[in-house]
Chains A and B, each alone.
Chain A
Amino acid sequence: MGALFYILIFPGFLFIIFFSLAIEFIDRKIYARLQNRVGPPWFQPLADFIKLLAKEDIVPTASNPKMFKLAPILALTSVITAFLYIPLWKTGALFSFNGDIIVVFYLLTLPTLAFFIGGWYSTSLYARIGSVRCLTQLFAYEVPLFMGILSSALLADTWSLKEMAVFYTQHPWFWMFNLLGFGISLISLLGKLEKVPFDIPEAETEVVAGSFTEYSGRMLAYLRLTLDIEMVVGSVLLALVFFPFGLNINPALGFMLFLLKVLFIISLISLLRTVVARLRIDQMISFCWKYLVPLALLQILVNLILKGTLLK
């Protein structure tokens, strides 16, 4: 019973779906307010989701039906699974073992591969261009994202998210040293979430809707939900890794603090996607490799020196 409750209701399915829809609303509302308009009502993401669930599912005759239908489910499953390993407002997660940070990374990479598979097997030209761009972009943002988050893990000397939370609770002010890593990871996360300025794979003005071009109805609902949940999991991961304070206080206060941290990261993402324009794919790759990766190396160097001096 307990396991079923975990999987279906609390940190699992139901909570994450409603939480991610709320986060999508906040993102869209901030985006609208920054553009000086009223923006969507609070139930908008829920209405979109239900409407898409009730629409007709079209599978193009030229596509490979099995792969086409498999991709959204694979993407959704992997992001929901990734959420189970992240401690939210306590130092303990639902499941934890040494090395779970790597598992979370790869579970967050799987949706990108699923988008590629779905786009490729729908055999539409736009979808194929979009999915190839998706993979090209993966090689640019993945390295700085991993380096940024792992530099924080390096300081804590563990590859388990739970033990990282314990370390930063014991050494309260150490998260201040990781702020550069936070900036790098946030920018790379924009690439993972396919948000402006890195929305190259689904640029509407160029490739219609990227790998989602041929999707309709229920499968499109799953894909959109995947992107929302990915945003939640990404920002929760950044909140845990870079703002690991107040994890062992009263649960109600801890929950409020957790929400505040996530909202802060979401508002940063919305702000960034309002103020910048889309880059070209080559500009994006050279930006990631020329600027973000050296900065991430600098962060790792700082953390290594800290380990040799302060933590001796």
Chain B
Amino acid sequence: MRIIKKIVSWARIKSPWILHFNTGACNACDIEIIAALTPRYDLERFGVVLKGTPRHADILVCSGPVTKKIEDRLVRIYEQMPEPKFVVAVGTCACSGGVFDGCYNVAAGINQVIPVSAYIPGCPASPKAIIDGVVKLLASLEEKENKGDVSIFPSPER
């Protein structure tokens, strides 16, 4: 059983499929995320593939402070993703709300709405920073897995 668990967590670390979702960003971070996916930076080296639907994705890449209008949609997309799932907040706004912190119409960061696994600050976060963040997320998952902290990979209960 342990060897199967090991193989599965290896596969999960080697094949993160991402879904890109703009939660009210000014598009700067989105352009940088797209730039990170282009042949110049080539994220497919790490097995990262951009998917169009939450059903296929493992990692939800969000950019922007969560506006009141998009809050419900963000939660809905998060709930549509199959377990195990992770969220990455790209950009200062997504991490903490940034300059929009305290506005009446934003929720000040992704972690106010859904749990976040990795934060990538920057205004906008550069493609290199995004790649660094994703690699660090994968490395931390691997480390936790080696320590035997199985709670990061909950087996889907049905």
Binding site for B on A (CB under 8 A): 28, 32, 35-41, 43-44, 46-51, 54-58, 126, 204, 208-209, 212-217, 220
Contacts and interface: CB of A to CB of B under 8 A. Distances in A.
Interface string B1-32: 00000011011101100000000000000000
22 contacts: A32-B39, A36-B39, A37-B42, A38-B42, A40-B44, A47-B11, A47-B14, A47-B47, A49-B11, A50-B10, A51-B15, A54-B8, A56-B82, A56-B84, A56-B156, A56-B158, A58-B82, A126-B53, A209-B56, A212-B56, A214-B53, A214-B55
A76 B89 CA distance: 38
Contacts of B156: 55-57
A211 B58 CA distance: 20
B115 interface: no
B134 to A, nearest CB: 15
Given A51-B11, A56-B156, A35 B39 contact: yes
Interface residues of B, number: 25
A275 B56 CA distance: 27
B45 interface: yes
Contacts of B51: 209
A47 B10 contact: yes
Main SS class of interface, A: loop
Contacts of B7: 50
A216 B82 contact: yes
Interface string B52-70: 1101101000000000000
Given A40-B45, A213-B53, 9 more contacts: A32-B44, A37-B39, A38-B44, A41-B47, A55-B84, A57-B158, A58-B55, A208-B52, A217-B82
Contacts of A32: 39, 42, 44
Nearest to A43: B14
B143 interface: no
A47 B55 contact: no
A47 B56 contact: no
Given A35-B39, A54-B8, A54-B11, A41 B82 contact: no
Contact of A56 (B12, B15, B83): B83
Contacts of B12: 51, 54
A311 to B, nearest CB: 50
A220 B47 contact: no
Contacts of B56: 209, 212, 215-216, 220
Shortest 5 CB-CB contacts between residues of A and residues of B: A50-B11, A56-B82, A56-B156, A37-B42, A47-B14
Contact of B47 (A37, A40, A214, A217): A40
A204 B12 CA distance: 23
Of A35, A51, A208, A215, which is in contact with the most chain B CB atoms at under 10 Å from its CB?
Answer: A51
Nearest to B7: A50
Contacts of A28: 44
Contact of A57 (B44, B52, B58, B82): B82
B42 A55 contact: no
Contacts of B80: 58
A213 B47 contact: no
B55 A216 contact: yes
A204 B158 CA distance: 30
B31 to A, nearest CB: 17
A55 B59 CA distance: 13
Given A204-B52, A208-B52, A220-B56, A48 B47 contact: yes
Contacts of A37: 39-40, 42, 44-45
Contact of A39 (B8, B10, B45, B53): B45
B55 A215 contact: yes
A38 B45 contact: yes
Contacts of A55: 58, 82-84, 156
Given A39-B44, A55-B83, A44 B14 contact: yes
A46 B14 CA distance: 10
A49 B8 CA distance: 10
A278 to B, nearest CB: 14
A104 to B, nearest CB: 30
